[in-house]
Amino acid sequence: MPLLLGTVPTASSPAAQTSAPVDATINARELDSFGLPGLALPVPEGSRPFELGPVSFTEDSLLPAELGPFSPGYRGAESEVRNPAAPFEAKQRIELQNTAAAEPQEAESLRIQVAEVSSRPGGISNAPDQSLFALDSAFLEYMELTRHTQTRRQGPFYYKLKINSSAIGDDNITLQSKNKKRDMQLSLGPAAMVQLGTDESALRIAGHYSGSASWFLSNPEQRTYDQKAGIEGAWSGASLKTGFRTGLQSTHNSSLDAGDRVGRQVYYAGGGASYGFSEKTSVELNTDFTRAEFNGLIGSRETRLQGFLNRQITPKLELGAGATEGEAKADGGKSQTYTQAVLRAKAQPTGKISISASAGNEWRSFESGEASTTTPVFSLGASWQATGRTSISMEGRRRTFTSAALVSQNYTSSDGAVSIREMLTTTVDASLTVGIEKAEYHSASPGVNSDRKDNYWFARYGMDWAVRRFCTTGVFYEFSNNDSSGQQNHTFSRNRIGVNLALSF
């Protein structure tokens, strides 16, 4: 099961002067996509942001989220971060250049760097270090589809096709503290990707689609068909690099914010450009728009404009300074505007360690007349290829969202996760992920009493087996718990166990 959720450029890479992955997020914290929102962990040596090489699918599917790759739009419970082993990076480019129909080895990853709307391709998160220039991570979610899938080539096009299925037992599908609903969810759906161009191409364009039909044995009214589609592109010149992304999603997931299973529709678009004045100095400018709608909840839209000045201090260290201007508005509410000033650093001390960090401050004002707020913002991501078989990743972040469940309220989320993955054999690996999140709600309009607090944590263990080049399977167990207080709180605990099977063509 999962996953590479996003990467940051290595400090020594020429591409490091582009930008970090986008982390556009939505205003409902959802749980069914493996993990805390905004996970965008650095990968071992060789990471190349923004570039659309024949696409890197690291595994899994966009099953209705229950077994789909992590999406920042989904806050919480289902988290498992894959950080591919470094040795797989080196061979991929040679194979793609020298074969008419590249079929990577069992664990090889053909990478496309796009970034978790965040995969929260759902909405926008104002995470301080997430550049809009990187392509949309909805694609990253999608890329999780085919870690072991064959990549085929027809002329200048690369494509992948896959059928994903899963069965998941869940003892609390609606996140209730009492009268829990137990059920077995069965899912089946297709996934497809086509891409024009490689890492070495000046122009790269990729499109993807995934769908998943789900049936609930005890609660048939919960049946759904989830789907995600998008197009991403990039053009690279000697000094100028540009990129765009656009897409839509229609999904149903368990939401921490709402304390129930919620349907959402998300539409997003963004673009950006980076210009290198020299080998060491570059600037980037990015913009992004997201519209999120929720069944029975509060929709929202968010727009942001972001700029960064980057400087390569040493071959292994890049520093940047930037600012973000954003505007968010919940349906029926008043507009909110915010400004962030941020310093960020990207480093790769050794070939096995990658670190990305940012810190700054956010100033937010409210058209409603609510008092302006100021809050620190930060993000931290790190990965360590401890041995040829063992990789460790960690991530943390603090940011603010508008609530989709509570009228005229925002919440500030501080979250983090640590993941360990061990290759047991050439075809079997195991992973353990533990994560926490603290969310504090606060008023976005005068006279609103806002005192809710959430303390959420989860632990997940999984094993994956590449049965054949065209067939993979995996199992997992996960426990999650939310200790919630204040008005309209949602305390719950949850156990899930599942198995998935994927066939590629």
Average pLDDT over residues 162-189: 94
If we measure between CA atoms, which residue out of 49, 76, 54 comes closest to residue 65?
A: 76
Average pLDDT over residues 10-37: 39
Instruction: Write out pLDDT tens, residues 411-426.
Output: 999 999 999 999 999 9
If we measure between CA atoms, which residue out of 203, 190, 125 comes closest to residue 161?
A: 190
Give the residue with greater pLDDT, 39 vs 436. Answer: 436
pLDDT of 155: 85
- What share of the chain in percent tops pLDDT 70? 70
pLDDT of 153: 86
Lowest mean pLDDT among 21-25, 402-406, 469-473, 475-479: 21-25
Residue 82 has pLDDT above 70, yes or no: no
Instruction: Write out pLDDT tens, residues 233-261.
Output: 999 999 999 999 999 999 998 889 998 89
Residue 72 has pLDDT above 50, yes or no: no
C-beta of residue 475 within 8 angstroms of C-beta of residue 499: yes
Q: Please, which residues have CB within 8 angstroms of residue 47's CB and are 6 or more apart in sequence? A: 7, 8, 9, 10, 13, 89, 113, 354
Instruction: Write out pLDDT tens, residues 449-485.
Output: 999 999 999 999 999 999 998 899 999 999 999 999 9
If we measure between CA atoms, which residue out of 258, 285, 268, 222 comes closest to residue 71?
A: 268
Q: Classify the C-alpha dihedral 486-489-493-497 as positive or negative.
A: negative
**Using alpha carbons only, what angle is made at residue 73 by residues 139 and 204, rounded to the nearest 5 degrees?**
15
The confidence band for 139, taking pLDDT boundaries of 50, 70 and 90, is very low
The Cα 458–Cα 253 span in angstroms is 17
Chain Cα centroid distance, residue 192 = 19
The confidence band for 30, taking pLDDT boundaries of 50, 70 and 90, is low
Tally of CB atoms within 10 A around 283: 16
Give the residue with greater pLDDT, 84 vs 424. Answer: 424
The confidence band for 24, taking pLDDT boundaries of 50, 70 and 90, is very low
Average pLDDT over residues 125-138: 36
The Cα 33–Cα 119 span in angstroms is 10
Domains of the chain (ranges, CATH numbers): 14-504 (2.40.160)
Average pLDDT over residues 39-56: 31
pLDDT of 149: 53
**Using alpha carbons only, what angle is made at residue 251 by residues 249 and 255, rounded to the nearest 5 degrees?**
125
Could you give the count of Cα atoms lying within 13 Å of 293 in the half-sphere of its Cβ?
6
